[in-house]
Amino acid sequence: MASHALGGPRPGNRNVLLKIVILGDGGVGKSCLMNRYVNNQFNDNSFHTIGVEFLNKDVKINDETYTMQIWDTAGQERFKSLRTPFYRGTDICMLTFAVDDRTSFKNLTMWKNEFLHYANIKDASTFPFIVVASKADIGADKRVVTESEIKCWCEVNDNIPYIETSSKDAINVETAFALGVDSWKRLEEAFDKTNNYVADTVNLSRLAQRNSSKCCSN
């Protein structure tokens, strides 16, 4: 949760800082996604990430300015203990798989659960996840995960928003991050509303208690 949600009104002239974590199997294109988004570059021979790396980018989305702090994590199993300590305090989680890699799609559930566990999030339905299908530029002959099965997985998982991207051809990369921010904003507003509602309920019940104790003392 961003600091303004905990500490009162959003400061007028400062950017909202959003911590965004990109998760998914090794080789699905997480580093390339971050590099396309932040530096508008693509590397055909990107190396495996060891642990985590992060980059910042200031953006304006729907008239609001944000500092996007993007954490690219190592997808390989052997780096699990190096990446999981960085999950806490995340505002948006991008669950990534490559459309030419069925195992990476099957592992989305594992990634989601790993994140929920180490970020200590109790209710997945209130957290802004985004599913990012990467390498959408590859030919139809190489594609092994269909759009309908991705949509189905998202539906079963609290209707997580989903987008197909290509870092190589710069398709939908900015939109993917904007989608994450949209989802974060929607859930944050819902959270604020619920909390106000709970606060009102508490106040009303306190009032009722006070009134009823008055009645008792009469």
> Binding ligand GTP by CB under 6 A: which of 49, 90, 107, 172?
49
C-beta of residue 131 within 8 angstroms of C-beta of residue 101 = no
Q: Is 28 in the site for ligand GTP (CB under 6 A)?
A: yes
The yes or no reply on residue 167 touching ligand GTP (CB under 6 A) is yes
27 contacts ligand GTP (rule: CB under 6 A): yes
Within 75-172, residue ranges assigned H as helices are 80-83, 102-106, 108-119, 147-156
| 38 binds ligand GTP, rule: CB under 6 A | no
Which range of residues in 8-16, 41-49, 107-115, 150-158 is near ligand GTP by CB under 6 A?
Answer: 41-49
Segments of the chain assigned E as strands: 16-24, 52-61, 64-73, 92-98, 129-134, 162-164
Residue 16: helix, strand or coil by DSSP? strand
> Alpha-carbon distance 207 to 211, whole Å?
6
State the minimum distance, in angstroms, from the CB of residue 174 to ligand GTP: 14
Residues near ligand GTP (CB under 6 A), total: 24
Closer Cβ to ligand GTP, 32 or 145, answer by number: 32
CA-CA distance, 104 to 5, in Å (whole number)?
34
Binding positions for ligand GTP, rule: CB under 6 A? 24, 26-32, 43-46, 48-49, 74-76, 134-135, 137-138, 166-168
